[in-house]
Amino acid sequence: MASVLVPVLYIIIVFGGLGVFSFIYRRKAASKSLPPYFPPHAERNAYVTLLQKSDPPASDPLLKSALVRRAMADVQRVLRLREDKPALQALLQKGSIGDDLWNSLLAAEKELEAEIVEVVSEANTFVEGWGQVIFPTANEMIANEKMRSLFESSEETKQALELKYGIKTSTSAGSALPVLTVGPPPIAPAAPSTPQAPAKSSNGNGNASSDGESVASPASASRTPNKSSAKKGKKRK
């Protein structure tokens, strides 16, 4: 009977000790403060400060613009979470990161969900139904700011291209990107043609004659056979 109780007591002690250790460890991990995944929400703090201002109170247009800025910051955080979560999950499965970073991301995701609900309710206090369109509006404003920053940096890009390649650039109207203007290569002026003197040819007597004199004209050619025929007629007589 004693031989049966000893293994049973051993198993109870081992599993009981593991259970107590696991309970204490989880309690300490839950009470441990996680590092924030995002920096402090400056836009939310600015909106709350303006909302609490009473002497004099903030105007509605100022509060609306502050709320839109807050929504824009929330949209940027949502986009970052969508990009980081799959990568962090893959790294966690490989054991490359610890549980602290993953738990910090999950806590930031829950906090962001509560932040979105609060922004929607605040928008509906100004205009009924504005909470349904404030985040699409904030998304469009973020895209507009990106395009404007690209347009404003086009002059710096132009100067960088000029310094790097040593060529002149020009920005066409309506486009933000510089256009390289490369002209055709310069054409060298043709040298003026000088008239050449006619070549002189010498006849059998050693007298030099020009080309015009060496070439017989049709009239002279026609007179030559007449003289030869006259000489033949005299000889026959």
Domain-located, residue 216: no
**What's the burial of 71, exposed, middle or buried (CB within 10 Å: 0-12/13-18/19+)?**
buried
Domain-located, residue 37: yes
What percent of the chain lies above the pLDDT cut of 90? 38
Tally the domains of the chain.
1
Confidence check: pLDDT of 109 > 80: yes
Run of H or E residues at 181 = none
Domain-located, residue 49: yes
Cβ neighbours for 78, distance < 8 A, ≥ 6 positions apart: 112, 116
d(CA 68, CA 64): 6
Q: What does the pLDDT read at residue 83?
A: 94
Range of the domain at 64: 21-131
CA-based R_g, the chain, Å = 50
Q: What's 133's DSSP letter?
A: T
Q: What does the pLDDT read at residue 169?
A: 58
- The model's pTM: 0.56
Domain-located, residue 148: no
Confidence check: pLDDT of 12 > 80: yes
Give the tokens for residue 166. Answer: 């040593």
Domain-located, residue 81: yes
Confidence check: pLDDT of 152 > 50: yes
Question: Per-residue pLDDT averaged across 145-153, rounded?
Answer: 88
Confidence check: pLDDT of 86 > 50: yes
